[in-house]
Structure 1
Amino acid sequence: MKKIGFAALMLIAQLSFAQANRFVYQVTMKPNAEDKNEVKTENAYLDISAEKSMFYSENRIKRDSVIRAGFQSGGARGFNREQMQNFRSSINYSIEKSKKDQKTIYKDRIGRDIYSYEEDRPVEWKILSETMKIGDYKVQKAETDFAGRKWTAWFTTDLPYQDGPYKFSGLPGLIVKVEDAKGDYSFDLMRNYKISDFPEMNQFGNVVKVKRKDYIKQQQKFISDPMSFMNQSSGGISAPMRMGGNRSQNPAEMRKRIEERIKEEVKNNSNPIEL
């Protein structure tokens, strides 16, 4: 009986250790440089375990669930396109931070493929003496200049994590709020809870590992010539289907519609988080 009891305690300890903590942030954005009155708000998750953390859109998980269900019920034709539209996100990237080697890996889709790079710029903080209360947490102020913006963060040592939303980390506590000086982007902690494990994410297309400077070049190329990235299929879904196309359409009309949509998306994201 003692052996069984000890084994049960070990199993409980292992399960507890395997758990991750999910912090839900409300992300407020003004991504359109031509219309700063247009404000977009959505939730994003920061999942933290002993080994790593991941930051990504809540809608990403919901959209992935719809895609999986579509494949199970008949491939690309089984997609519920209305649901897919409801789960569109302005946060198309995901960010993974490794605790062991202190690396930050950024992933984002350009055309048909996922581009991945290791962040090569450290976030250097200036910790200030100012404190206040945000919700249940006593927080302290810190500032940094990162990727063309001046950021103010409020972190708490009430939670044992030196992490935060987006690429931000390295403070002696969890970031509860961080906002840029222009008020274009802000991340606000709303709640947190335990999860059993990190979710499985769909990654249609190839994962292309590049340097950050090469990722920026590919981004600029996509803006100037988006169709050059969309002409081939990858990951089992053709570009027109991923962009909401219809196989019965005339190819020229489909191409024109995709080009118009991409140009509209580029315009709507003309004020990126990194300048």
Structure 2
Amino acid sequence: MKKIGIIALALFMQNIYAQANRFVYQVTMKPDAANKTDIKTENAYLDISAEKSMFYSENRLKRDSIMQQNFQSGGARGFNRDQMEGLRSSINYSIEKDKTNQKTFFKDRIGRDNYSYEEDRPLSWKILPETTKIGEYKVQKAETDFAGRKWTAWFTTDLPYQDGPYKFTGLPGLIVKVEDAQGEYSFDLMKNYKIADFPTMNQFGNTIKVKRADYLKQQEKYRTDPMSFMSQQGGGFSQTRIGGGGIASPRSGGGNGRGGNQNPAEMRKRMEDRIKEEAKNNSNPIELK
């Protein structure tokens, strides 16, 4: 009985250690430079364990679940177009932080491929003495300049994590709120709970590891000439393949169950129109430089 008790305790402790914590942030964005009254709001998850963290759209996870169910049924049911459209996301990327090596990786889908780069701009924070309370947490103020915007963050040491949404990290606590000076992007912690493990994201296409500058070049190429980009694997870029983990962008899939009945000219026109609309709607990106 004593051995059984020890084994049970060991399994319990192992299960606790394997758990991750999910922090749900409300992300508010004004991505259209020509229409600052067009405010997008959606939830995103920051999943944290001892070794890593992942930040990604809640809608991305829901879309992946629907697509996975469809694949498991042999695609017989087809996608519910209205349901998938309702889960479109303005957060088409995912971000993974390697806590052991203190590295941050950005992942996004361009055309048929997933791209991954290591963030090469370290965050430099100025921690200020000002404190207040946000919800149940006592928080302290900090500021940084990053990617063309000035950001103000409020972090708490009430929780045993040194992390935050998006690429924000490096403060002695968890970021509860972070907002840019123009009020065009903000991340607000809403709630948190334990999860058994990190979710497995659907992987479509290849994953290509590049430098950040090369990712930006590919992104611009996709916007200016999407069809030629799609017709050539990886846009003609010299590729270094890596495995795992990309989050497919909603723009890549869609799946309404009708694609096979459309002629190529119609599909091309729809794709071009969609990409042009996406470019317009993302003319005020979170990173300005």
TM-score band w.r.t. shorter chain: over 0.9
Q: Residue 257 of structure 1: SS of its match in structure 2?
A: helix
Secondary structure in structure 2 of the residue aligned to 1:79? coil
Query: 1:184-205: CA deviations, max 9, x gaps?
Result: 1000000000000000100111
Q: Does 1:4 align with 2:7?
A: no
Instruction: Give the 3-state SS of the residue equivalent to 1:247 in structure 2.
Output: helix
Q: What does residue 58 of structure 1 align with? A: 58
C-alpha distance in structure 2 between counterparts of 1:271 and 1:252, whole Å = 31
Aligned residue pairs: how many? 272
How far off is 1:75 after superposition?
Answer: 2.7
Secondary structure class of the residue paired with 1:123 = coil
Q: How does 1:79-228 map to 2 (within 5 A)?
A: 79-228=79-228
**Cα deviation, residue 78, structure 1:** 2.0
Letter in 2 for 1:72: Q
- TM superposition shift of 1:72: 1.9
Rounded to whole Å, the distance in 2 between the matches of 1:190 and 1:15 is 26
On the 8 A contact 1:70/1:77 being kept in 2, the answer is yes
1:245, distance to aligned residue in structure 2 (A): 6.2
**Structure 1 length as normaliser, TM-score?**
0.95
**How far does the alpha carbon of each residue in 1:56-75 deviate from its partner, in whole angstroms, 9 at most, with x for none?**
00001100011011112233
Among 232, 242, 266, the alignment partner of 2:279 is 266
Identity of aligned residues (%): 76
> 1:41 matched to which residue of 2?
41
**Contact 1:76–1:241 (Cα < 8 Å) also in 2:** no
State the distance in 1 between where 2:259 and 2:212 align. 35
Residues 1:15 and 1:213: Cα distance change in structure 2 (over 3 Å)? same
Could you list the runs of 4 or more consecutive aligned residues of structure 1 that deviate by over 4 angstroms after TM superposition?
232-235, 239-245
Pairing 1:251–2:268 present: no
Q: 1:6 to 1:116 in 2, by over 3 A?
A: same
| 8 Å Cα contact 1:240/1:254 also seen in 2 | no
Gap runs ≥5 in structure 1: none
Computed over aligned residues only, the root mean square deviation of the Cα atoms, in angstroms, reads: 1.9
Task: Say if 1:207 and 1:84 are closer, same or farther in 2 by CA, change over 3 A.
Answer: same
After superposition, the C-alpha distances for 1:171-216 in whole angstroms (9 at most, x for unaligned) are 0000000000011100000000000000010011110100000001
SS of match in other structure, 2:21:
strand
**In structure 2, distance between residues paired with 1:262 and 1:76:** 28
Q: Choose 206-215 or 243-252, whichever is displaced more.
A: 243-252
Q: Which has the higher contact order (CA 8 A, sep 6+)?
A: 2
Deviations 1:90-114 (A, max 9, x none): 0010000011101101000111111
Shift of 1:132: 0.3
Sort the Cα spacing of 1:125 and 1:111 in 2 relative to 1 into closer, same or farther, 3 A. Answer: same
The amino acid that maps onto 2:211 is: K
Instruction: Give unpaired runs (5+ residues) of structure 2.
Output: 235-247
